[in-house]
Structure 1
Amino acid sequence: MNSFNEIIDYLSNDQGRESLLGMLRGIEREALRIDDSGQLAKDGHPEKLGSALTHSRITTDYSESLLEFITPVNSNIDTLLDGLTQTHAYSVKNMNGQTLWPVSMPCYVGDEKDIPIARYGSSNNGKMKTLYRQGLTHRYGPLMQIIAGVHFNFSVSEKLWDALYEKSDKQLSRQDFISESYFGMIRNYRRLVWVLPYFFGSSPALCSSFIKEQPVDFDFKKTGKGTLYLPYATSLRMSDLGYTNKEQEQLDISYNSLPEYLAGVGEAIRMPSASFAKIGVKVGNEYRQLNSNVLQIENEFYSPIRAKRVAKSGEKPSEALARAGVEYIEVRALDVNPYSPIGIDASQVKFLDLFLLYCLLLSSDKTDVEGEAEIAANLKAVVLEGRKPDLTLSRKGQHVKLTEWLSDIFEPMSRLAVLLDGEGNQYQKALSQWQEAINDPSKTLSGRVLEDVVNQGIDHGVWVKQLAKQYHEYLSNYPLSANTLAEYEAEAQESLRVQQDIEAQPAVSFDEFLADYFADLAQSAVAVNQ
């Protein structure tokens, strides 16, 4: 096993630097549509944005009101963010005056029943996507499903894999070496995932209407007309208030290898749930969920990182991974950055490049039960009190100050930044910006939010609406060339046509469609019972 410094030395030449710079990235940003009063928009997906089922860049997530903007894969950060900005601008110009909610935690929601579930048309595939979301409503409630985040897709170049494979012992095939290396990266990421909410968590405060009457264990402070906050919190989105799933805590999904991971996911989608069975699957003529297992489908597995491969038509995510190994990873631990009109900025992307390369090139031990408990405890500590002075975490069973651990991580990341920059300084500049927040937590995103909301005395809802108005004006006036505008309009029309074509095709009944989709689960259940 080569050390991080040995690998950096090995790559410290023109070819090595070029192989490292060949990173590919994609961004998925979620944002709620909001009406003039700051309430959740309840109308249908705007027709000028095309079909949420078939559009490649503009779709919806859980709710009809929760837009999701998807970038094409790109190797250039400026091109990536310019494209994301254009998608935002085109959408805002075609939303009938509605604005985008620029933070992760939802706006004021009156009756949860008013949250519209995303609709994808009359095709069996479209019905299944809507039913999956209906199941999420019954299982976890709709409020949890309208929390917005940013997903960051990342892969390294074939040239880098060539170089790393050449330096390996070659006991694995190249494909298996790549998958195992990505899983080593995933294990390191999971051990260090608390780093991301520390710097980029931006939901230390929320509107009290989100809590409603539910009992919470948090000792919230209150300010303004109903803003709740925790003084040292970084990301309430990643706390028990946000994307958590108690039912999934029983799952034992290992990241120690691709085969172990696939086996764990396979077991999870076949594991029955007594509590979800009480909901019912099909009651009378109405479906309530896809099935009553712990996971309806693989996408229901909540994880701050996923191993991914682009799937073929009709292929499930795990089938794609089993067929050809890991192609890229998806980072899912990012709050929406409220200080960017598109939810993320270039300094964050550069930091993520360095952080993920560090996780890839650092040797990675397998994880055991104690290691998993340590990962969970560290993440919870940083999510709820990451900016607390002298906060300590656990590193391999030893207490260590958060600031000390961060400094230890920044040292090798600085080596990477120098190598990537060559004659420039872009990566070093981005790293320096976030390094200032190690000893000055007020420079983290969550620190800035609390400064604006608590110290300035502005109610959270008022503050967010001010940002929403500011970004709406910026994006409404953002210049799109005639060619760019024509491309977006053409894709919107084409996506609607493709959906119509899908719906016009002869199809089996929805019951038959679901039975066929889950046939492998039914077969495995029969085999177990024999």
Structure 2
Amino acid sequence: MITTDLQTILAALSMPEHKHTIRGIKRGIEREALRIERDGKIAQTPHPKGAGHPLTHSSITTDFSESLLEFITPVSEFPEQTLSQLQELQKYTLSKMGDELLWPMSMPCFINDQSDIALAQFGDSNIGRMKTLYREGLKNRYGSMMQAIAGVHFNISFPDSLWQSLQTVESNTSPLQHFISDKYLGLIRNFKRELWLVSYLFGASPALCSSFLQGKESHLPFKKLGTGTLYLEHGTALRLGDLGYTNSAQSSLKVMYNSLDEYIAGLREAIRCHSDLYGELDDYTSETPKQLNKNILQIENEFYSPIRPKRNALSGEPPTHALERGGIEYVEIRALDVNPFVDTGISIEQINFLDVFLTYCLLKPSPEMSWDEQKLSQENLTTVVNQGRDPEVKLLQGNHQVTLRQWAEHIFTDLKDVAKWMDEAYGSDKYVNTINELSSWASQPEKTFSGRLLSELKQKQQDGGVLALDLAAKYKASYQDVSYSEYSEQGLDLAADESQQAAIAIKDNDDKDFVAFLRDYFARA
């Protein structure tokens, strides 16, 4: 390999034959949002039938609970188009929800009891029942409250032209897909090393409703605001911490990212390994099953990770089989809180930053990552989740402590170079402008999402739920002024109707009972 450092690679990619090869980045967004009543409580109504069937609709579905909507945009090279699609999908769904609103936060609204969180229902076809039973397993393993948390998933793939240029400047002679998979894994390792920066900048869950704890004591030094809001003075993203999407039972799973074979083997071991914790719960072979199976992971999707390597799967194909068949096609970033300051839950500035940051993670050297280093990266993330805006907070770089500000400033120095190269390719200034603005947040934590959110709550001395309800009502009203441009109302109506018919067809085509269906599925997996 000729190239060894980021500056060398950027210089090589700036040559005339390579300078435009970054153009054509493709993105897709999955945004989750709880349906709530006007009084701020979680909705108890079924998934709005007029929005389509959650099993078969490609853009409007549900996640864990019946009230946790998920909006999925098509793949696009144009981020403004993606945000417009997200707006219009939400506008359409809200029109089918009566007086209900979309909760604009990651941490859930007031929930009196976990029994108020109904499991998502996907119909009585075999695959629909499997999806609901999987969620039954999640409920019985980890509790429903954790599953009521919402997030934003950002999917990104780089153009073929970039892969070809990178392979040329690195004098790499591997088969192209093997090279692509290895480079994506390098991106993932670098992302995990510096994920804490994303949490610092865009974490928007420094506070939660006390009902989330369900009366349990917490070791975290919470302060109280209003009648029931708990917050961490310097917290950023409780969703990514011990209270959120974590799984202590998975902490011993050594899923590694140094090769695709290693990643697949680690994940498959988890879905085949019997769990001592969940072995007493009845599985699909029982008359009243409480989970799909008794393994550490019921299926691969249960593995909680802030980033995943992905390939579009064939019908019924498990994710690792898709990766084994065709290699890595794109990566899914799962570490984003819902941005409460925009109706879409993610802003154009965030997309611009992620474009640059993920390109930086791709291009910079990415040595293999040991299990100890993975644990250290998790420790850094936990530190930032709980204390990220503390001006004195320190992180671990290998065996050395550095301040968050010092490390962030070092990263932003490299990000500015990457942004400049990308702007030259795109003929724009959006990337440089975004990175210049966000670089100031390293020394001004009050500019971060969590800083802004807490400042507003403290200034108004109000519960987070009051602010969230105000935003939810404001965003719903604003959709009256949104005109369809990416979709049409008639087209969305047709898609909803077709999804209902497709769900019926799936049920009609079932040719075996539920137990036999799952036995065959797990035999393949």
- Pairwise mapping of residues 190-269 of structure 1 onto structure 2 (< 5 A)? 190-269=192-271
| Partner secondary structure for residue 193 of structure 1 | helix
**SS of the residue 1:363 aligns to:** coil
CA separation in 1, counterparts of 2:286 and 2:517? 18
| C-alpha contact (below 8 Å) 1:92/1:476 kept by paired residues | no
1:520 Cα deviation from its structure 2 partner: 4.6
CA distance in 2, matches of 1:520, 1:501: 23
For 1:169-217, what per-residue CA distance to the aligned partner results, in whole angstroms no more than 9, with x for missing partners?
3342111111011001100000001011100000001111111211211
Q: For 1:102-158, what per-residue CA distance to the aligned partner results, in whole angstroms no more than 9, with x for missing partners? A: 000000011211211000011100000000000000000001101000000011000
Distance, in Å, in 1 between the alignment partners of 2:371 and 2:136 is 34
Report 1:289-368 matches (<5 A). 289-368=291-370
- Which of these residues, 264, 270, 277, is aligned with residue 279 of structure 2? 277
Partner Cα distance (1:331, 1:40) in 2: 27
User: What's the offset of the Cα at 1:505?
Assistant: 1.8
SS in 2 for 1:20: coil
2:186 aligns with 184
Aligned mates of 2:503, 2:283 — CA distance in 1: 27
Please state how far the C-alpha of 1:15 moved relative to its aligned partner: 4.7
Q: Tell me what 2:436 maps to.
A: 432
Structure 1 residues 482 and 149: CA distance shift in structure 2, 3 A: closer
Structure 1 residue 282: Cα displacement: 4.9
Give the secondary structure class of the aligned counterpart of 1:18.
coil
Output the amino acid matched with 1:37.
D
Match of 1:41 in 2: 43
Q: Give the C-alpha shift of residue 400 in structure 1.
A: 1.0
Cα offset, 1:373, TM superposition: 2.3
- Aligned position for 1:374: 376
Q: Cα distance 1:462–1:9, how it changes in 2: closer, same or farther (>3 A)?
A: same
Residue 477 of structure 1, aligned match among 478, 481, 494: 481
1:154 and 1:328 in contact (8 A); partners too: yes
Confirm or deny: 8 A CA contact 2:113 2:214 kept in the other structure: no
C-alpha spacing 1:249/1:42, structure 2 compared with 1 (3 Å): same
Structure 1 residue 476 displacement after superposition: 3.6
Q: Is the 2:202–2:449 Cα contact (8 Å) retained in structure 1?
A: yes
Structure 2 residue identity aligned to 1:475:
Y
Map of 2:508 onto structure 1: 504
Amino acid at match of 1:246: S
Name which of structure 1's ranges 7-16 and 299-308 shifts more when overlaid on structure 2.
Answer: 7-16
Rounded to whole Å, the distance in 1 between the matches of 2:490 and 2:84 is 17
Most deviating of 226-235 and 413-422: 413-422
Q: For residue 231 of structure 1, what is the amino acid of its counterpart? A: E
Q: Aligned-pair RMSD on alpha carbons?
A: 1.4
Superposed displacement of residue 496, structure 1: 0.7
Structure 1 residue 220, shift from structure 2 partner: 0.5
Residue identity over aligned pairs, in percent, reads: 44
Letter in 2 for 1:129: K
Q: CA deviation at 1:493?
A: 0.8
CA distance in 2, matches of 1:381, 1:16: 40
SS at match of 2:279: helix
Counterpart Cα distance in 2 of 1:476 and 1:237: 31
Worse-superposed segment, 134-143 or 5-14: 5-14
Structure 1 runs of 4+ with >6 Å offset: none
Amino acid at match of 2:316: G
TM norm structure 1: 0.96
CA displacement 1:341-389 (0-9 Å, x = unmatched): 0100000000000000000000101111331221111001001000001
Q: Following the alignment from structure 1 to structure 2, what is the Cα–Cα distance between the partners of residues 308 and 410?
A: 28
Report SS of the residue matched to 2:21.
helix
Of residues 72, 75, 79 in structure 2, which corresponds to 1:73?
A: 75
Contact 2:136 2:291 in 1 (8 A): yes
Residues 35 and 67, structure 2, Cα contact 8 Å, conserved in 1:
yes
Deviations 1:10-41 (A, max 9, x none): 11145534211211101000000011111111
CA-to-partner distance for each residue in 1:425-445, whole Å, 9 max, x for gaps? 111111122112111000000
CA distance in 1, matches of 2:150, 2:374: 26
State the AA in 1 paired with 2:62.
T
Q: Tell me whether 480-489 or 134-143 shows the greater mean CA deviation.
A: 480-489
Q: 2:461 & 2:101 partners in 1: Cα distance?
A: 24
Q: Quick check: 293-302 or 398-407, which moved more? A: 398-407
1:443 correspondence with 2:453: no
**CA–CA distance in structure 1, aligned partners of residues 419 and 487 of structure 2:** 37
In structure 2, distance between residues paired with 1:442 and 1:181 = 35
Contact 2:88–2:486 (8 Å) recurs in 1: no
Change (3 A) 1:519 1:483: closer
- How far residue 454 of structure 1 moved from its aligned partner, in angstroms, is 2.0
The answer for the alignment partner of 1:527 in structure 2 is none
Question: Using a 3 Å threshold, how does the CA distance of structure 1 residues 48 and 359 change in structure 2: closer, same or farther?
Answer: same
User: Structure 2 residue aligned with 1:462, among 459, 466, 470?
Assistant: 466
Report the count of equivalent residues.
521
| 1:464 Cα deviation after fit | 0.7
Residues 283 and 310 of structure 1: CA distance in aligned 2, closer, same or farther (over 3 Å): closer
User: How far apart are the structure 2 equivalents of 1:13 and 1:466?
Assistant: 51
Give deviations 1:222-247, integer Å, cap 9, x for gaps: 11111100000000011100001011
Unaligned segments of structure 1, at least 5 residues: 522-530
Q: 2:11 aligns with which of 2, 9, 14?
A: 9
- Counterpart contact for 2:85–2:487, Cα < 8 Å: no
CA contact (8 A) 2:102 2:472 kept: yes
Larger deviation, residues 365-374 vs 51-60: 365-374
Q: What is the letter of the counterpart of residue 455 of structure 1?
A: Q
CA–CA distance in structure 1, aligned partners of residues 361 and 486 of structure 2: 42
Consecutive unaligned residues of structure 2, counting only runs of 5 or more, are none
Provide the residue aligned with 1:526 in structure 2.
none
Distance of 1:293 and 1:483 partners within structure 2: 42
